[in-house]
C-alpha cells in the first residue's frame, strides 16, 4: 500500500507495490508519484511520500536478499 494525498486527506490505496515498481527506475517512480499527487501538495507531503516509497523499496530489497522465512 502507498499513501495517497487526495483532497487534502491522507488515505490508503491498495497497490501491489512490488509489481508496480519492480520494473521502474527511481526517477520513473518519482515521476509517477508526482503525476498522482494533487497540484496543491506541499513539498513536505511530496518528500514524505518519497521517503515512504524509499523505505518500502529498501525493505523489499532486504527481503529479496535474505529470502522470506515462512516461520
What pLDDT is stored for residue 31 in this prediction?
Answer: 93
The mean pLDDT of 37-47, rounded to a whole number, is 94
Q: What angle do CA 56, 67, 3 make, to 5 degrees?
A: 15
What was the pLDDT predicted at 27? 93
Rounded CA-CA distance 71/68 in Å is 9
Above pLDDT 70, what percent of the chain? 63
Amino acid at each position: 500500500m502507498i499513501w495517497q494525498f487526495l483532497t487534502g486527506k491522507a488515505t490508503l490505496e491498495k497497490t501491489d507495490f512490488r509489481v508496480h515498481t519492480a520494473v521502474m527506475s527511481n526517477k520513473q517512480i518519482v515521476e509517477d508519484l508526482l503525476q498522482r499527487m494533487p497540484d496543491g501538495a506541499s513539498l513536505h507531503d511530496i518528500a514524505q511520500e518519497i521517503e515512504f516509497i524509499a523505505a518500502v523499496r529498501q525493505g523489499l530489497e532486504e527481503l529479496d536478499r535474505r529470502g522470506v522465512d515462512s516461520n
